[in-house]
Structure 1
Amino acid sequence: MPVTVRRAVATDAEGLSRLAALTFPLACTPQTSAEFLAHHISTRLDPASFRRHLADPACVVLVAVDGADGADPVGYTMLLGGEPSDPDVTASLHHRPTVALERFYVHPDHHGSGVARRLMEETIAAATATGARGVWLGVSEENARANAFYARHGFDQVGTKRFHIGDAWEDDLVRERPLP
């Protein structure tokens, strides 16, 4: 399958929003309430939110598009530059300056197809182009598939962080990799 990875533009906002609504719940734990998911999707993953991200110079959004139809993205990532605001993350990181890999999602129909590998290669290149020395992310300790994927791509576990989601506290692993 020919997949193109490119920087997202404002006209991608609708497709990104649809993909985010589908994939975000897959990364959440079973404890995440349906009410929280619905609220988060409608207020943080809506097209207007994506347009704001795309207009933010500290934010890099990459989109993977299937060359066969190209209608909607089959994956996307979002990098956010700057120091993390979470003190647990700040204390865990070894490489500065840093960039956060805030989002990394692939349509479930494309899992195992190589889209994620290709998207990660382009994301690491984009992170390197920011001038950062390291890239970090937070991933649920319960998400074995994602943790294995990130480990294969050089992200070492360097700490943990707690965050409030809906009515519950959850734990994420903090993973980091150096950039060339």
Structure 2
Amino acid sequence: MRQAGVEDAIALSLVANAAFLDTYALVLTRDDLIAHCIKNNGVETFAAWASDPATIVTIAEVEPGHVPLGYAVLTTPDFPIERRSGDVELRRIYTLKQAHGSGIGPALMARAMEDACRLGHDRMLLGVWEHNDRARAFYERNGFTVIGTRRFQVGAEIHDDPIYARTL
């Protein structure tokens, strides 16, 4: 694992799109999937995050060849709740299905928590699709609890997603 730079934006975009399609292909329409990926997972999105001093993008790679299998994005919170000065958002944490059970997800989470503490944050927030039971169980195993909800739109569909928080 390492902090990603602008030069990693293409690889991050590929992982983001693959993970999103893998997670939501059976519950969203084709047009909604494509629209979401184009809007949110483009190379320019990851390049902007990687060059933003308030954002840390971590990429998880496997040897040999530095093949990317996952990533995390830690950034300024964007939730419809009252925030505290020490809040940070784990905007994204994804691994490819091939990495499930490998320890990459927990390692990305640990790294995000370390980075957040190093930057002086004392609470981590995240949002998750309400029906993503696997992710919700992962967050709960890592000490996160639900503190609210947000409306999240993917294409034409609107979801009421839980907002989780964890004191660091």
* Percent identity (aligned): 33
User: Does residue 1:102 correspond to 2:91, yes or no?
Assistant: yes
Q: RMSD of the TM alignment (CA)?
A: 1.7
Whether 1:53 and 2:19 are equivalent positions in the alignment is no
- Does the alignment pair 1:35 with 2:31? yes
CA contact (8 A) 1:96 1:134 kept: no
Picking from 101, 107, 126, the partner of 1:112 is 101
SS at match of 1:140: coil
Q: Which consecutive segments of 4 or more residues in structure 1 shift more than 6 A? A: none
Q: Deviations over 1:125-167 (max 9, x none)?
A: 0111221110000011211100000011111111221222211
Of 149, 155, 162, the residue aligned with 2:144 is: 155
* Pairwise CA distance, 1:29: 7.8
Say which is worse superposed, 126-135 or 101-110, in terms of deviation: 126-135
**Structure 2 counterpart of 1:79:** 74
TM value normalised by structure 2: 0.91
SS of alignment partner, residue 92 of structure 2: strand
How many residue pairs get aligned? The number is 168
> What pairs with 1:13-32 in structure 2 (closer than 5 Å)?
13-28=9-24, 30-32=26-28
Structure 1 distance, partners of 2:120, 2:34, is 36
Q: Residues 128, 27 of structure 1: CA spacing in aligned structure 2 closer, same or farther, 3 A cutoff?
A: farther
Gaps of 5+ in 2: none
Please give the alpha-carbon distance, in whole angstroms, between the structure 1 residues aligned to 2:55 and 2:166.
Answer: 19
- Secondary structure of 2:53's aligned partner: coil
Is 2:157 the counterpart of 1:168?
yes
d(CA) in 2 for partners of 1:27 and 1:132? 30
In 2, distance between residues paired with 1:29 and 1:68? Answer: 29
